[in-house]
Structure 1
Amino acid sequence: MKPATYWIEKYQMQAHPEGGYFAETYRSTETIAQSALPGRFTGDRHLSTAIYFLLESHHFSALHRIQSDEVWHFYAGDPLEVFVFDTDGHLEIIRLGSDPDKGEVFQAVVPAGYWFASRPAAGTTYALVGCTVAPGFDFADFELSTHQTVISTNPAYQTLIQELTHS
């Protein structure tokens, strides 16, 4: 297995505000007018965007939510756990990876508006994944959580939520 630094250098990845590293690989040239989008969007959006995203064992992608569906794709390294809290307070843990016998999948979807976070599975070194967002990602649609925000609707998962937030 190639080291994480190999991917970071080859794809010219930079630090991501949530944790880890990323490189945007696609941003459609066409846009959707705000008037054609659901009311939760504050402006025009690109049709779709895509990134490479790498988390090492000491990283996690902090709990956040966006206004679009996000499709996650596994590429290399070790399994990544994606923690998804639906609007009713249920937790789903998705394991992105290459071994379906261990419950791992190559792709998974996080629906718009759901709180989610991710980190490499315990005892692993890194995970290289991709994220495709439609309508395209815009930081205006990004909301980073404090642990209190998500604990209020998911108190049974207080310890996990505290591990997956920065404040």
Structure 2
Amino acid sequence: MIQAKPNIQGVINALDLEAHIEGGYFRRTYQSDHRASLETSTGPRYLLTSIYYLLTEQSPVGQFHFNQSDILHYFHLGDPIEYSLMRADGSLQTLVMGSDILSGQHLQLPVPGGIWKASRLMDGPHGFGLISEAVSPGFDFADMEMADRGKLTAQFPQHRALIEKLTRNEG
């Protein structure tokens, strides 16, 4: 018997998610507002924030972006999600978050601040992948930069094909 894919809109509604600028859907689930703020070079930040983040077949890519803060990702359910991480020296690391730990998939993925990061939903029976992210210092859009395809390609020409696949062509 062929099982139907879950109602992805039902998942979005149940978790009260909204569209994210980098692709996919999200909702902030926690901010440490009961503690003193942390002073950073770009202003005060919560010590920690956390979100749900969902990629779907209709929105399968989290575009390349750069965060100042450290982020710890936690895989919850659905299909695996592939992460591409580009460091300032041009090195590229590709990792897969998913539940199949015996084949090398990761349940947790730490990403230090200062790395270009993109994600994409891999094919699977669910049609979505759900993770959480814990961010410290807490996430603020002022600390995030969406990739400009031309600039990122100029910085990392050896990764042109991947950059073109995981960025929006804005011009």
TM-score by length of 2: 0.88
The separation in 2 between residues aligned to 1:97 and 1:74, in whole angstroms, is: 6
Counterpart selection for 1:146 from 132, 145, 148: 148
Aligned match of 1:55: 55
Contact preservation (8 Å) 1:48, 1:132? yes
Deviations 1:17-60 (A, max 9, x none): 111111110011124342xx4xxx31000000000000012421
**SS at structure 2 position matched to 1:55:** strand
Question: Distance in 2 between the 1:119 and 1:131 partners?
Answer: 16
CA distance in 1, matches of 2:99, 2:38: 38
What is the CA–CA distance in structure 2 between the aligned matches of 1:84 and 1:49, rounded to whole Å? 21
Q: How do residues 1-167 of structure 1 correspond to structure 2 at under 5 angstroms?
A: 2-29=6-33, 30-34=35-39, 37=40, 41-59=41-59, 60-122=61-123, 125-167=127-169
Q: Can you give the 5+ residue segments of structure 1 that lack an aligned partner in the other structure?
A: none
Equivalents in 2 of 1:76, 1:6: separation in Å?
A: 15
Specify whether residues 69 and 98 from structure 1 end up closer, same or farther in structure 2 by C-alpha distance, changes over 3 A only. same
Deviation at 1:6, TM superposition (A): 2.5
Q: Which amino acid aligns with 2:7?
A: P
Paired AA for residue 22 in structure 1? F
C-alpha contact 2:78 2:129 (8 A) present in aligned 1: yes
2:73, 2:92 → 1: CA distance? 17
CA distance in 1: counterparts of 2:86 and 2:27, whole angstroms: 26
Percentage of pairs with the same residue: 37
Count of residue correspondences: 162
Find the aligned partners of 2:94 and 2:36 in 1 and give their Cα distance: 32
Task: Between 96-105 and 128-137, report the one with greater CA deviation.
Answer: 96-105
Runs of 4+ in structure 1 over 3 Å off: none
Provide TM-score, normalisation by structure 1: 0.90
- Give the residue type in structure 2 aligned to 1:154: F
How far apart, CA to CA, are the structure 1 residues paired with 2:6 and 2:85?
29
RMSD of Structure 2 on Structure 1 (CA)? 1.5
